[in-house]
Amino acid sequence: MTGPGVERPVALVTGGARRVGRAICLALARAGCAVQFTFRESEVEARGLHAELVGAEPVSEVSRVLAFEDRAMRLDLGDLAGVEALGERLARAWPRLDVLVHNASMYGPTPIERIGAEEMMAHFRVNAAGPLLLTSHLTPLLARSLLPGGGAVVCLCDIHAMGRPRRNHAAYGMSKAALGEMVRTLAVDLAPQVRVNGVAPGVVAFPESGPESQPEMQARYLSRVPLARSGEPQDAAEAVRWLALEARYTTGTIVRVDGGRWLG
């Protein structure tokens, strides 16, 4: 196996280098998993996460010598041929996979008066088609999981694609809604060997640019959150960890982590 040792649960997290993905990687590592992750452009952050994972994982000869190139894989989910190539390579190289987390996503406004076909399909490739293709190739590995509840797939969904649509985000919302339907469909298709669930955050990390990075807009959003504050990446990460490792009788479920935003 090229990658983490097989004596511990093996986890793969897409888009793991930054923000929520980073928190998920660290939460799984602290729970005893051998974690690998993908990144697209954030190599500096990916190298920093690699160092943190070495420190967070249980001390073992394997985890200490795992090189950055073996742990972190560059992947653009919008390149579906590249997604399939990675899936095929891992399916040949790894004896099993216990946890697959679909965290990487594309987010941006698409006002209806200027939406174009390429931007619309880019959202769909990254947020729905790429995760489905990767899961397809890795399903045989997940079916060989040694976890008591079987292999686990966890998708990062969005409450705003579950009946709380945001203005001017049609392409994003539609693509994330497709990801939510993937959770429900694969929960049936992959049972009983593999459980498939989702985590739907509200705001656990505001965008770093654009209108939603402005304090005024953030304050307006939080005024509709009963807990009156934003969450943190760790809040979503702990929900992912629970679904992946502890929720043995849960499949086809999307857990909202939104401070109550769904209620209003």
Nearest to 168, CA basis, from 221, 106, 111: 111
Q: Are 184 and 252 in contact (CB under 8 A)?
A: yes
Domains of the chain: 10-203+234-263 (3.40.50.720)
- Ranges of the chain with pLDDT below 50: 1-5, 61-64
> In this predicted structure, what is the pLDDT of residue 4?
46
Residue 120's Cβ-side half-sphere holds a number of Cα atoms within 13 Å equal to 10
Measure the CA–CA gap between 9 and 31, rounded to whole angstroms.
9
> In this predicted structure, what is the pLDDT of residue 7?
79
Measure the CA–CA gap between 182 and 188, rounded to whole angstroms.
10
Measure the CA–CA gap between 188 and 209, rounded to whole angstroms.
38
Nearest to 110, CA basis, from 53, 68, 63, 168: 168
Place of tokens 């959770």: 183
> In this predicted structure, what is the pLDDT of residue 220?
78
> In this predicted structure, what is the pLDDT of residue 213?
65
> In this predicted structure, what is the pLDDT of residue 2?
43
For residue 51, the Cα-to-chain-centroid distance in whole angstroms is 20
Helix (H) or strand (E) holding 19: helix 19-30
* pLDDT tens per residue across span 60-85: 544 445 688 889 999 999 999 999 99
Write the CA distances from 161 to 2, 34, 167, integer angstroms.
37, 31, 11
> In this predicted structure, what is the pLDDT of residue 221?
76
> In this predicted structure, what is the pLDDT of residue 28?
97
Strands lying side by side in the sheet with 151-156: 72-74, 34-39, 10-13, 99-102, 151-156, 194-201, 254-257
